[in-house]
């Protein structure tokens, strides 16, 4: 395993992705990690970029023990400056100008020595992506220059004899030509990583880890939503600990058409998972009555989820007392993915900036099973969405579910601009069903990342038959996105969009107009509330 130490760069996780695309297994940990705390020894270490300046007080640094291991080290951007700075603090200073964007890198021919190995097989110049203000002002002792740019004399450095390398450019960013080849040279040629990592290894490894963590007796509960992440996590849990895992689906009354039924079929009947469906519809609607403020809606929904889960955890705990083979409910499963964790993983620690909506309103911070706080188990935390999908397929989960667009925990409630009522939810369900069915019929569902219908509860006039009618406005939204942090509106063929609108107005009582939201994110968000 190659260890990536994260210093907080926006693109640190991409280093992992590139390494894994080479079938090299890598894990990322905060830069504050002490090597002595790991129960494995890395074969090489990558120090990521980061927003700080190495000479600032309190700037993140690294466990000096990494230099004693004798294993290869690659510093990228901040990581490169840190290497130089740790050798001698005179080595790094603020540059006169920020070097940001694409530039040409000159690779220096340092022969076949140790230092030449990082750019082995490369031509003399390379188009790369840089983003830095600070730079190296001196070459650290024992190092040679392996690359430079117009503005940066030491854009690439390498120790003459030890396998220590530093590059100012970002090989993980797609604008850097052959960036993956640089990482391949480091991981495969220099660290001697065997490129044999596959999802299959992940399953085995994770099942062993879960069994060890949970032990022979404890029970685990987890919320499932019907989305690919929670389904894959549940399937893995079932494989690891069998019936000691209990999946809970809260029917909020805010889910899409037939969704609850589909989740039931998939989990209970197809995957054989212990599934309890908690009917919370009435409770959600009663608590949401009269509420129009979006954040208040979200809070109410989050709280209600927690209340219902807590009740279930206690019930399962009580039942367990009568079952000799199952112990206490100690763990709470979440299908958190790597992307959800990026902020909390960074060296800043579990920061306040993590999006509150990545779990349903604070779960499991407040989740108790009667006596103790439930511990969190997140078997997918090292995976990216496409990896979870591949994994889901491997576990035999149906393709429709594997490729399903994400659906937010608060459901249709945050897709109704105004008060949430059962009648309005029904309207959105029907419109959404028409929209998504027509997208699927057109064969373009997989081309977009997320699509849905929402409701503006203001009234607009329409003409139906010979009379004026007033109805609500249906808002259609469809976006493409890589990471859901930014998104672009999907470009529908206009005729298809018109056909969709016509069907919705004709078939859904209560809607007189349909509009398509063309806002990018930013400045918009994907959901309306």
Tell me: is residue 279 an annotated ligand-binding position.
no
Q: 182 or 337: whose CB is closer to ligand XMP?
A: 337
Contact 373, 264 (CB under 8 A): no
Tell me: is residue 48 an annotated ligand-binding position.
no
**Where does this chain bind ligand XMP (CB under 6 A)?**
298, 357, 406, 408-410, 450, 484, 521, 525-527
Nearest to 363 by CA among 224, 259, 246: 224
Tell me: is residue 225 an annotated ligand-binding position.
yes
Q: 484 or 516: whose CB is closer to ligand XMP?
A: 484
Question: From CA 358, how far away is CA 122, in angstroms rounded?
Answer: 42
* Least CB distance to ligand XMP at residue 434 (A): 20
Question: From CA 97, how far away is CA 133, in angstroms rounded?
Answer: 6
Tell me: is residue 263 an annotated ligand-binding position.
no
In this chain, which residue has its C-beta nearest to ligand XMP? 357
* Least CB distance to ligand XMP at residue 146 (A): 41
Tell me: is residue 243 an annotated ligand-binding position.
no
Q: Residue 189 has what DSSP assignment?
A: I
* Least CB distance to ligand XMP at residue 360 (A): 6
Q: 327 or 362: whose CB is closer to ligand XMP?
A: 362
Q: Which residues, other chains included, contact 363 with Cβ-Cβ below 8 Å and sequence gap of 6+?
A: 223, 302, 305, 306, 309, 332, 334
Q: 83 or 476: whose CB is closer to ligand XMP?
A: 476
* Least CB distance to ligand XMP at residue 296 (A): 13
Q: 27 or 303: whose CB is closer to ligand XMP?
A: 303
* Least CB distance to ligand XMP at residue 367 (A): 16
Contact 73, 47 (CB under 8 A): yes
Q: Dump strand ranges (E) for 435-528.
A: 450-464, 467-480, 488-489, 511-516
Q: 31 or 451: whose CB is closer to ligand XMP?
A: 451
In degrees, rounded to 5, the angle at the alpha carbon of residue 186 between the alpha carbons of residues 110 and 86 is: 80
Question: From CA 334, how far away is CA 363, in angstroms rounded?
Answer: 9
Nearest to 429 by CA among 518, 508, 529, 514: 508
Contact 28, 345 (CB under 8 A): yes
Tell me: is residue 227 an annotated ligand-binding position.
yes
- Tokens representing 283? 């409770």
Neighbours of 82 (CB within 10 A): 24
Question: From CA 314, how far away is CA 367, in angstroms rounded?
Answer: 10
* Least CB distance to ligand XMP at residue 478 (A): 12
Q: Residue 85 has what DSSP assignment?
A: H
* Least CB distance to ligand XMP at residue 303 (A): 13
Question: From CA 491, how far away is CA 514, in angstroms rounded?
Answer: 16
Which single residue is written with the structure tokens 């290869």?
Answer: 72
Q: 111 or 523: whose CB is closer to ligand XMP?
A: 523
Tell me: is residue 61 an annotated ligand-binding position.
no
Positive or negative CA dihedral for 131, 135, 139, 142?
negative
Active site residues: 77, 170, 172
- Tokens representing 274? 């212990």
- Beta strands 73-76 and 44-47 are parallel
One-character DSSP codes across 312-325: HHHHHHHHHHT-TT
Binding-site positions for ATP? 225-231
Binding-site positions? 225-231
């Amino acid at each position: 395993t190659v260890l990536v130490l994260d210093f907080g760069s926006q693109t640190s996780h991409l280093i992992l992705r590139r390494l894994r695309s080479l079938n090299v297994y890598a894990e990322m940990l905060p830069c504050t990690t002490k090597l002595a705390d790991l129960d494995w020894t890395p074969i090489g270490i990558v120090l990521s970029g980061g927003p700080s300046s190495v000479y600032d007080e309190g700037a993140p640094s690294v466990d000096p023990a990494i230099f004693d291991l004798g294993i290869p080290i690659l510093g990228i951007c901040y990581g490169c400056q840190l290497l130089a700075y740790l050798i001698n603090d005179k080595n790094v200073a603020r540059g006169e100008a920020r070097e940001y964007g694409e530039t040409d890198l000159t690779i220096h021919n340092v022969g076949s020595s140790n230092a030449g190995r990082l750019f082995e097989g490369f031509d003399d110049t390379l188009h790369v992506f840089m983003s830095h203000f600070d730079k190296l002002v001196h070459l650290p002792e024992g190092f040679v220059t392996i690359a430079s740019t117009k503005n940066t004399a030491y854009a690439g450095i390498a120790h003459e004899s030890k396998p220590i390398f530093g590059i100012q450019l970002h090989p993980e960013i797609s604008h850097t030509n052959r960036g993956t080849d640089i990482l391949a040279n480091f991981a495969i040629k220099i660290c001697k990583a065997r490129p044999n990592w596959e999802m299959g290894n992940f399953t085995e490894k994770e099942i062993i880890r879960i069994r060890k963590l949970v032990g022979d007796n404890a029970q685990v509960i987890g919320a499932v939503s019907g989305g690919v992440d929670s389904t894959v996590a549940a399937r893995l849990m079932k494989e690891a600990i069998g019936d000691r895992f209990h999946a809970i689906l809260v029917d909020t009354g805010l889910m899409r058409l037939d969704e609850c039924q589909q989740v039931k079929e998939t989990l209970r009947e197809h995957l054989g998972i212990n599934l309890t469906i908690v009917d919370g519809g009435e409770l959600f609607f009663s608590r949401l009555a009269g509420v129009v403020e979006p954040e208040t809606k979200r809070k109410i929904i989050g709280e209600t989820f927690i209340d219902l889960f807590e009740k279930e955890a206690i019930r399962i705990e009580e039942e367990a007392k009568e079952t000799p083979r199952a112990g206490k409910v100690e763990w709470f499963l979440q299908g958190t993915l790597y992307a959800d964790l990026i902020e909390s993983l960074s060296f800043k620690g579990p920061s306040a900036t993590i999006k509150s909506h990545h779990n349903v309103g604070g779960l499991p911070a407040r989740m108790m099973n009667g006596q103790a706080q439930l511990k969190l188990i997140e078997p997918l935390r090292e995976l990216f969405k496409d990896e979870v999908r591949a994994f889901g397929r491997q576990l035999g989960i149906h393709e429709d579910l594997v490729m399903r667009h994400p659906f937010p925990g608060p459901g249709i409630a945050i897709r109704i601009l105004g008060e949430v009522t059962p009648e309005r939810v029904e309207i959105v369900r029907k419109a959404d069903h028409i929209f998504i069915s027509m997208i699927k019929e057109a064969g373009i569902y997989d081309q977009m990342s997320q699509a849905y219908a929402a409701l503006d509860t203001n009234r607009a006039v329409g003409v139906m038959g010979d009379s004026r009618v007033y109805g609500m406005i249906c808002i259609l939204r469809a976006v493409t996105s890589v990471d859901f942090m930014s998104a672009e509106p999907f470009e529908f063929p206009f005729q298809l969009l018109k056909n969709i609108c016509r069907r919705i107005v004709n078939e859904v009582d209560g809607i007189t107009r349909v509009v398509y939201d063309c806002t990018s994110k930013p400045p918009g968000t994907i959901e309306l509330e």
